[in-house]
């Protein structure tokens, strides 16, 4: 059987873990990242994963720009960029006019697949929901903080069902257990809700997930946010049962005692993914007339923190 030709765009924690597993499964993987120091380190020393997983792979193909892929062909292209960078990445990919590629969106947030579909054919797009996380210790080295399998992959249109099943099998065979699902949007809402209840609190307090969950008052805020978001999701047709909150708390406990990616981004002065998480949920809440006051307050505080960090430009950074 012919081995698939694979490209991973984004060498942060998600993309690096993905690339290492695929390479070690015997696939030729091209890694793209706009940060020259990342690609230089990856070319010279490979990719190393430590922590929850201990893995290493040499990387034969590293690129610092998408246009370097122009004369190449791929079966799957995994987009592991931040949601704030998705539109620009999609525009560049559209300009390449790659034939036969399936685009797998491997990032957090709600409605990101619709952004991608504004540039590329829907039948070539798959949506992934990732249940692992990590942090870049230094270029080429990623600490994998947790993996609560499975990941999920689904399609936007029925014609892409077999593609979604094939990618799920590909990832599972590479050691990242992944399930095909017909309800990928519901899975994306669920994961985004989990991120949206804890990430901003980690930014505001500077605490780890473990510290937040064991703090009684902060835990109560999380439970209130979970209930708000559950009502918003219900209006969109995504019903989460009464034990959803208990399962969410269990997920956070299993994730371990570390800072969230949004907290690390804030401390490093990077843009935050509020627009595809808390602000997106608030948009749906307002559309349906669902009171979502804890989240509204949270968004306002986050905008204030970004203005304090970045000046008035911080307001646009928050969406």
Domain limits of the chain? 6-182, 186-317
Token pair, residue 119, equals 């540039």
> pLDDT digit string (tens) for 128-140?
999 999 999 999 9
Supply the pLDDT for residue 258. 87
Strand partners, 29: 6
Q: Which H, E and C letters describe the chain, residue by residue? A: CCCCCEEEECCCHHHHHHHHHHHHCCCCEEEECCCHHHHHHHHHHCEEEEECCCEEECCCEEECCHHHHCCCCCCEEEECCCHHHHHHHHHHHHHHCCCCCEEEEECCCCCHHHHHHCCCCHHHEEEEECCEEEEEEECCEEEEEEECCCEEEEECCHHHHHHHHHHHHHHHHCCCCEEECCCHHHHHHHHHHHHHHHHHHHHHHCCCHHHHHHCHHHHHHHHHHHHHHHHHHHHCCCCCCCCHHHHHHHHHHHHCCCCCHHHHHHHCCCCCCCCCCHHHHHHHHHHHCCCCHHHHHHHHHHHHHHHHHHCCHHHHHCC
Query: Who wins on pLDDT, 267 or 253?
Result: 267
- Domains 6-182 and 186-317 fall in the same CATH topology: no
Supply the pLDDT for residue 91. 97
Compute the average pLDDT of residues 236-241: 96
Kindly indicate whether the domain formed by 186-317 is annotated with CATH number 1.10.1040.10.
yes
Supply the pLDDT for residue 99. 86
> pTM (2 decimals)?
0.94
Compute the average pLDDT of residues 16-21: 97
> pLDDT digit string (tens) for 28-60?
999 999 999 999 999 999 999 999 889 999 999
CA distance 68 to 65: 6
> pLDDT digit string (tens) for 203-227?
999 999 999 999 999 999 999 999 9
Q: Give the pLDDT band (50/70/90) at residue 1.
A: very low
CATH of 6-182, picked from 3.60.20.10, 1.10.540.10, 3.40.50.720, 1.10.3720.10, is 3.40.50.720
């Amino acid at each position: 059987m012919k081995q698939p030709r694979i490209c991973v765009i984004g060498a942060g924690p998600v993309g690096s873990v993905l690339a290492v597993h695929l390479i070690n499964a015997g696939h030729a993987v091209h890694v793209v990242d706009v940060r020259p120091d990342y690609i230089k380190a990856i070319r010279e020393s490979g990719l190393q994963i430590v922590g929850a997983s201990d893995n290493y792979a040499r990387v034969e193909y590293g690129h610092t720009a998408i246009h370097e892929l122009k004369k190449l062909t791929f079966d799957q292209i995994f987009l592991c960029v931040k949601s704030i960078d998705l539109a620009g990445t999609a525009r560049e990919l559209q300009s390449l006019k790659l034939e036969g590629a399936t685009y797998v969106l491997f990032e957090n947030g709600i409605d990101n697949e619709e952004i991608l579909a504004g540039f590329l054919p829907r039948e070539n797009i798959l949506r992934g929901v990732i249940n692992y996380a990590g942090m870049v210790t230094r270029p080429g080295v990623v600490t994998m903080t947790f993996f609560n399998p499975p990941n999920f992959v689904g399609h936007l249109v029925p014609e892409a069902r077999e593609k979604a099943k094939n990618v799920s099998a590909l990832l599972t065979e590479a050691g990242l257990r992944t399930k095909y699902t017909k309800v990928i949007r519901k899975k994306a809402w669920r994961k985004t809700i989990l991120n949206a209840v804890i990430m901003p609190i980690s930014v505001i307090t500077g605490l780890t997930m473990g510290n937040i969950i064991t703090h009684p008052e902060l835990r109560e805020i999380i439970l209130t946010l979970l209930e708000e978001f559950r009502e918003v999701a219900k209006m969109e047709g995504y019903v989460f049962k009464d034990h959803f909150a208990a399962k969410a708390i269990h997920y956070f406990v299993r994730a371990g005692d570390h800072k969230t990616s949004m907290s690390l981004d804030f401390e490093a002065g990077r843009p935050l993914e509020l627009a595809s998480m808390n602000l997106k949920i608030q948009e749906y809440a307002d559309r349906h007339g669902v009171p979502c006051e804890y989240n509204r307050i949270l968004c306002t505080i986050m905008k204030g923190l970004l203005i304090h960090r970045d000046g008035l430009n911080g307001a646009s950074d928050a969406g």
